[in-house]
Structure 1
């Protein structure tokens, strides 16, 4: 068995929110494989909150923005070496300027080669900031999303969201959905686009949990077993799909019910959520 390193444990902790010793044990049991370690933790009944969209940035900041007619938006993130720099006004102001320029470009490479001012490219300006700050600074994240109507939301420069709607919608309601996605970190929009491989893996985990809890069923109780599995699976999918999640501002209704209150034909086309 390979030795489990501290950075592997910290990565699993960041993704799951589970304690150090449990993460270490899970990694030891799965030979350091993060995905298998997550499955192991769930199988032994640990309640985890998976961060489905985390970046590889250790220190830095991210931000989202949309263009003037709300037809597309970007999320960009720049990394640095210290928490102190990532929270400084100079660093965040530079990120804000880059964000406004990012909507002119389609890809990370095009953006880096684009002009920061008349004589300096984005990449050259980042290099200049490195020489001033005495820290390595790098453009780590560049995401773009298009739709008939796009809104953005950024929380403390640690979580950024873009949401694409099927048509124009009141910004107040649209921002509520973006905040929902930031807070609840869904996997997909609805049940029909939920990844099938995750469903299969969750069924395996549920079955293992039932056995671990000593809930054995004889052949006459097969229907009971199937109902328990279906109920747990339905809950898992509902908690991880935007439209079926409980609305964070009113947990008596779902996000779907919230949107239907003012437009039953409105659809969420796509979304991006990045966190550090």
Structure 2
């Protein structure tokens, strides 16, 4: 299979790895990007694990919570140009939609809901003629919890966090900001998807097998790498971004009752 220059540059953009290494990885995996990334990681290249994101050519996202702070949404509207996605008219329209979004549980219900005598979908269609670009509601995510906080960064990354009880807003916001910045894959070890854990173990074993060490030492190295993977990628075990002396769990324990838990979170990015 012939690998195109655009494929190579796309993999380079995702991984940050050199052009020739990207070309070899794509050639070895017949152009499969996911397998090419695994190939590079098995070689020992440090590449961030693929997490929840949406490949939108252009657009913006926003998070919002209701007055009671018990429900929150992330919605995202795609368009055709970066210029429009950053314009005040586009962002004001997105914000207007967001203010009503937490009243509904699914994207379909939201799009068909009425707003001043028009459906949300009709409002989007009308804006197509105004902006002269194709628009589509690409993202709709929702969290319900006894206490929900939100955070949006540059309208390109947005997070929601649901807590088991109401807590100080500034502390909750710090955790939402941490999630936005550090992009955990799960709250804790038991919530890591089994297929992801299996794949990570395979990659680690492949890396360690190349070491000229006794099997007993290799098993200890595998255990250490798995532990590091869990610590670096699960929310409660991650080092708090504002104080690396604390994990998020320790930050929570120090800040309020140990009985308060993070029920769920969502983090969406577009690129």
**Structure 1 residue 8, shift from structure 2 partner:** 4.7
TM-score scaled by structure 1? 0.92
**Structure 1 residue 116, shift from structure 2 partner:** 2.8
**Structure 1 residue 275, shift from structure 2 partner:** 0.1
Q: Verify the 8 A CA contact 1:207 1:229 in the aligned structure 2.
A: yes
Q: Tell me the SS of whatever aligns to 1:36.
A: helix
**Structure 1 residue 27, shift from structure 2 partner:** 2.2
Alignment size in residue pairs:
269
Cα distance per residue 1:91-147 (max 9 Å; x no partner): 0010000100111111111111112323x2211111111111111111100111111
Q: Verify the 8 A CA contact 1:15 1:51 in the aligned structure 2.
A: no
Q: Tell me the SS of whatever aligns to 2:57.
A: coil
Q: Verify the 8 A CA contact 1:14 1:51 in the aligned structure 2.
A: no
TM-score scaled by structure 2? 0.93
CA RMSD in angstroms comes to 1.7
The equivalent residue for 2:212 is: 216
The equivalent residue for 1:252 is: 245
Name the CA distance, whole Å, in 2 between partners of 1:6 and 1:77. Answer: 30
Q: Tell me the SS of whatever aligns to 1:38.
A: helix
The equivalent residue for 1:84 is: 83
Name the CA distance, whole Å, in 1 between partners of 2:6 and 2:143. Answer: 32
**Structure 1 residue 228, shift from structure 2 partner:** 0.6
The equivalent residue for 1:103 is: 102
Q: Verify the 8 A CA contact 2:183 2:267 in the aligned structure 1.
A: yes
Name the CA distance, whole Å, in 1 between partners of 2:59 and 2:212. Answer: 49
Q: Tell me the SS of whatever aligns to 1:92.
A: helix
**Structure 1 residue 21, shift from structure 2 partner:** 4.3
Q: Verify the 8 A CA contact 1:190 1:243 in the aligned structure 2.
A: yes
The equivalent residue for 1:133 is: 131
Q: Tell me the SS of whatever aligns to 1:180.
A: helix
The equivalent residue for 2:262 is: 268
Equivalent residues in 2 for 1:37-52, closer than 5 Å: 37-52=36-51
Structure 1 residues 29 and 177 mapped into 2: Cα distance closer, same or farther (>3 Å)?
same
Name the CA distance, whole Å, in 1 between partners of 2:19 and 2:110. Answer: 39
Q: Runs in 1 of length 4+ with deviation above 3 angstroms? A: 3-24
Name the CA distance, whole Å, in 2 between partners of 1:175 and 1:114. Answer: 30
Structure 1 residues 15 and 168 mapped into 2: Cα distance closer, same or farther (>3 Å)?
farther
State whether structure 2 residue 152 is matched by structure 1 residue 154. yes
Mark the runs of 5 or more structure 2 residues left unpaired by the alignment.
none
